[in-house]
Amino acid sequence: MTMKIVFDRNKCTGAYSCVQEEPEKWKPASDGKVDLDGSVQKKPGIFECAITQEELEKARIAAAVCPASAIKVVEE
């Protein structure tokens, strides 16, 4: 099974809840939004990053605390 974070940067409002939960992955950017470390842009504003089993729990927490629903954890 592959697990990944899908980040819709278009929705990001810069609340930085994700940064507080997982600063290793979520980096404040100069435009007031965040960048997902190690991600690749798949469509305009849509970034994806594969994660390990160990990273899954923190990724789920980041997704849960994002007030803009910009973070999704996908298992496929």
Site residues (CB under 6 A) for ligand SF4?
Answer: 12-18, 26, 33-34, 66, 68, 70-71
When the beta carbons of 1 and 8 are compared against ligand SF4, the nearer one is 8
CB of 8 closer than 8 Å to CB of 46: yes
When the beta carbons of 1 and 31 are compared against ligand SF4, the nearer one is 31
- DSSP notation for 26-53: EEE-TTSSEEETT-EEEETTEEEEEE-H
When the beta carbons of 22 and 76 are compared against ligand SF4, the nearer one is 22
Q: For residue 11, count other CB atoms closer than 10 A to its CB.
A: 15
Q: Cβ 39 to ligand SF4, closest distance in Å?
A: 12
